[in-house]
Amino acid sequence: MVQDYTSGLEPSNESVVDFRGNPADKTRTGGWLAAGLILGTELAERVCVVGIAMNLVTYLVGDLHLSTSRSANIVTNFMGTLNLLALLGGFVADAKLGRFLTAATAAAIAAAGTSLLTMATSLSSMQPPECDDFRLKEHECVSASGGQLSMLFAALYIIAAGAGGIKANVSGFGSDQFDNSDPKEERSMVFFFNRFYFCISLGSLFAVTVLVYLQDNVGRGWGYGISAATMVAAMVILLAGTTRYRFRRPQGSPLTVLLRVMWRARRKRGLAYPEHVQELHGYEAATAPHTDRLRWLDKAAILQSHEISAPESFSEGKKTVNTTKVSTVTEVEEVKMVLKLLPIWATCIMFWTIYSQMTTFSVEQATYMNRKVGSFTYPSGSLSFFLFISILLITSLNEKLLVPLARGFTHNVQGITSLQRVGIGLIFSVIAMVVAAVVEMRRKELANEGSKTVSVFWLVPQFCLVGIGEGFAYVGQLEFFIREAPEKMKSMSTGLFISTISMGFFLSSVLVTIVDKVTSGGWIKNNLNNGRLDYFYWMLAVLGVLNFIVFLVFASRHHYKANTYQWKNQGKELKVWNDENCEVKQHGELYHEPGLRVTPGVGRASKQPPPHIAKYYHSKLCV
């Protein structure tokens, strides 16, 4: 059998400093106090964004009198832009400002945007003329003008810029407060990510319960005002902890490397491939193996004569390479790894298109249903409570029940692979759309027959199914894009994951626009009782099935990146994984390693490993 592996992680060359730029003192900086202050920023971001997105469509339709389809597109475009701007936030942090300064600036921007939104929803001059209940029910009211919408749009996209910058940097800055070379702090980092996800869920639950209730029953200004105050408080707390943080200086964005390699490969497309792969620039010093896939990128590493400078003096005897003209094999192979993720990236978009319906049409459906629970009127936007509860439930069951159970069948320490998790999430999203279509058919049928309005809790199953799907898909996608990326490009890979969410919301807007035009507004009407929203849900279910088939094709062809050796903590013995007598293949040459003991994943060495094992990607051939 042949099992591929990646070489050991090289120690990070990023210097960790305190706020004065001096080497960080671990006894005075970092740790849980610093991480806790940072977590507050993410909690505030969730309160702000979820409190806006989950109930915005009811404000646009009910208060500003916009059409249902246009309102849905405003919400999905806002969320799509927010997630897309996370890529920009990550680029700015990596290339220039650093994570702390970018996150703090983004928090200030988000606070300003939420404050502006509070004004836009509170000022009477920003509202259209009042409308009586009959005309409101028939959707015959005067819609908000472009001038009245201008402040709203400005506020939303300022919030998107701020929240995107927070989303891209808070998790990374929080993990910077722990030293992964210290076993104790490394364990704390694992808990940090658990608590990070907990803060996301806690902020979301607060938003869809308390804030949505205030927006519906007290006033939009109160709901958004609390969001603004929360963001201001989080920004102040983040800045107050400046002396406690550990900082990593910006090392340059990996996006620059990717674009540079692709540009150089295109510029040199007319060159012939070298006779021997060893002639590529940086081959001998490569920390990633050369592969034959996407071979056209190899031309970026072809070294031309004019890219080599003669030595300044005879005594030096060395030639220098103009690195502004040629890439190394390592850079080329890292770009190949990123591009290999794109087919899976494309098939993950559909999940978030289906997810976006939970913030738009499903919320609008609820306004046509019986929301009374005794004397209490259940807010439409609070149905997302069931979505977030499902996410928390499934993630808890994953660790305690599903993963241990799956290990017995798969013999995989992870239980199921990251792509299997994504596949399960896609299946649940399709089932959710089928259920949503059936519920909408029945709701519309009873409404048009004049029967009693059905309970809003008929919508709970579709929210729960999407929530269960997210519990699998979100974790699977995040794990896949982080684990499969090169070490130096993990922030870019995380950005790729976030961009699937963005593209999913944008795709929803495109589909709504196309359907509205093709059906002449027949499917998605202002009055859902006169439309065929169920047909739209059936269409999404069919598209989800087709997307799942394509996903299976790409997933079955994907070869997971080899596991990583981390050669550290000398004196600890490697565990036995397979036969003791193995051969290690390095770039076409075989090295016999009698008695080599290895373990997949994180390895430990009893002595300093040979250079060809510690430095290079290799295959382990056990007979």
pLDDT for residue 552: 93
569 in helix, strand or coil? coil
pLDDT for residue 436: 93
Task: Identify the band that residue 213 occupies on the pLDDT scale cut at 50, 70 and 90.
Answer: confident
pLDDT for residue 580: 38
Give the pLDDT confidence of 329-380 residue by residue, as tens digits.
888 888 888 888 889 999 999 999 999 888 888 888 888 888 888 888 888 8
- Return the DSSP state at 8: P
| Average pLDDT of span 169-196 | 76
Choose among 349, 307, 356: nearest CA to 328.
Answer: 307
566 pLDDT more than 90: no
In angstroms, the CA 621 to CA 592 distance is: 10
Task: Identify the band that residue 576 occupies on the pLDDT scale cut at 50, 70 and 90.
Answer: very low
Tokens of 139: 């959707």
Residue 134 CB: number of other CB atoms within 10 A? 8
| Average pLDDT of span 319-325 | 67
In angstroms, the CA 233 to CA 429 distance is: 37
| Average pLDDT of span 557-576 | 46
188 pLDDT more than 90: no
Choose among 294, 370, 297, 380: nearest CA to 332.
Answer: 297
- Domains of the chain from N-terminus onward: 14-252 (1.20.1250.20), 339-560 (1.20.1250.20)
In angstroms, the CA 116 to CA 221 distance is: 10
Task: Identify the band that residue 194 occupies on the pLDDT scale cut at 50, 70 and 90.
Answer: low
534 in helix, strand or coil? helix
In angstroms, the CA 367 to CA 380 distance is: 6
Residue 190 to residues 9, 183, 184, 193: CA-CA distances in angstroms?
18, 11, 10, 5
pLDDT for residue 496: 79
pLDDT for residue 411: 63
Residue pointed to by tokens 């807010």: 379
Q: Give, in degrees to the nearest 5, the angle at Cα 10 between 102 and 620.
A: 130
Give the pLDDT confidence of 153-164 residue by residue, as tens digits.
999 999 999 998
In angstroms, the CA 136 to CA 131 distance is: 6
4 pLDDT more than 80: no
Tokens of 93: 């942090």
CB 434 within 8 A of CB 354: no
CB 579 within 8 A of CB 597: no
Task: Identify the band that residue 449 occupies on the pLDDT scale cut at 50, 70 and 90.
Answer: confident
Most confident of 234-238, 399-403, 476-480: 234-238
452 pLDDT more than 70: no
CB 70 within 8 A of CB 513: no
562 pLDDT more than 70: no
Tokens of 376: 């209490």
What's the one-letter identity of residue 289?
P
617 pLDDT more than 50: no
Choose among 36, 50, 39: nearest CA to 227.
Answer: 50
Lowest mean pLDDT among 14-23, 514-523, 551-560: 14-23
Lowest mean pLDDT among 172-186, 377-391, 426-440: 172-186
| Average pLDDT of span 268-279 | 83
- Beta partners for 2? 621
Burial level of 180, CB count in 10 A (0-12/13-18/19+)? middle
582 pLDDT more than 60: no
170 pLDDT more than 70: yes
First CA to last CA distance, the chain:
7
Task: Report the mean per-residue pLDDT for the chain.
Answer: 78
* Rounded CA Rg of the chain: 27
Task: Identify the band that residue 424 occupies on the pLDDT scale cut at 50, 70 and 90.
Answer: very high
CB 16 within 8 A of CB 23: yes
| Average pLDDT of span 174-189 | 77
162 in helix, strand or coil? helix
In angstroms, the CA 46 to CA 159 distance is: 12
CB 235 within 8 A of CB 108: yes
In percent, the amount of the chain with pLDDT more than 90 equals 18
Choose among 153, 172, 151: nearest CA to 86.
Answer: 172
